[in-house]
Amino acid sequence: MSRVEIIPAIDIIEGRCVRLLQGDYAKTKVYDASPVDMAKRYADCGVHRIHIVDLDGAKVSAPKNLKTLEKIAVGAGVEIEWGGGIKSEESLRAIFDYGANYAIIGSVAAQQPLLFGEWLARYGGERMVLGADVREGRVAVNGWQQEMELTIEALVDEFLPMGLKQVICTDISRDGMLEGPSFGLYTDLQQRYDGVDFTVSGGISAMKDIEECDRLGLRKVIVGKAIYENRITLKDIERWLLNE
């Protein structure tokens, strides 16, 4: 059985690496490293996939950091899952044209399910990733600024017959807090939907959290702030990947 895959995160505002606390744009911390440099460092560790969120794009409902995406795609040599502001066919094509391998779709899936269903049919579950941002069991959309009555289970159930294969579930209450993820949430989802790969997102604080994800049989885990705050080092990631 393969170990849980570590997917480092890069959140971008105005071309710079940032982290938000619980999705709050007013609580932004800017880091010195450029997104392109960070992506190269991750690639050098042996990472296969990087998770990138265009926070400017999420706010204005259209991708805003496409040039940065292009530089990472050309310079880092890793697979890129890209989210933030993908609300139209034009935006979706743009992120693929600029080098993304996977598109993370959140708000459209929750608010325009017919459109996301069309994209799943056209591009396939291999490239289309459902981004489900959850706060207290309910889905939040538009850069986490609006909550819906929809549950993540209802969302997954809707797209399962259409070929859904990948879901990134972010527990907003844990995101950027470095307090550990909601292990119960992810194990319940992964056991309920065995044919779907769920990615743990939000709250990873140290390697012990990744080890616990692995022990629980979870498949993918996104790590963001813990790396920038030096709680998980690039060496830690490299060692993990070498022991796969």
Give me the active site residues, please.
11, 133
Structure tokens, 134? 């959850």
DSSP string, the chain: -PPPEEEEEEEEETTEEEEEETTEEEEEEE-SS-HHHHHHHHHHHT--EEEEEEHHHHHHTS---HHHHHHHHHHH-SEEEEESS--SHHHHHHHHHTT-SEEEE-HHHHH-HHHHHHHHHHH-TTTEEEEEEEETTEEEETTTTEEEEEEHHHHHHHHGGGT--EEEEEETTTTTT-S---HHHHHHHHHH-TTSEEEEES---SHHHHHHHHHTT--EEEE-HHHHTTSS-HHHHHHHHHT-
In sequence order, the β-bridge partners of residue 13 are 16
41 Cβ partners below 8 Å, 6+ apart?
A: 33, 234
Distance CA 165, CA 197 (A): 6
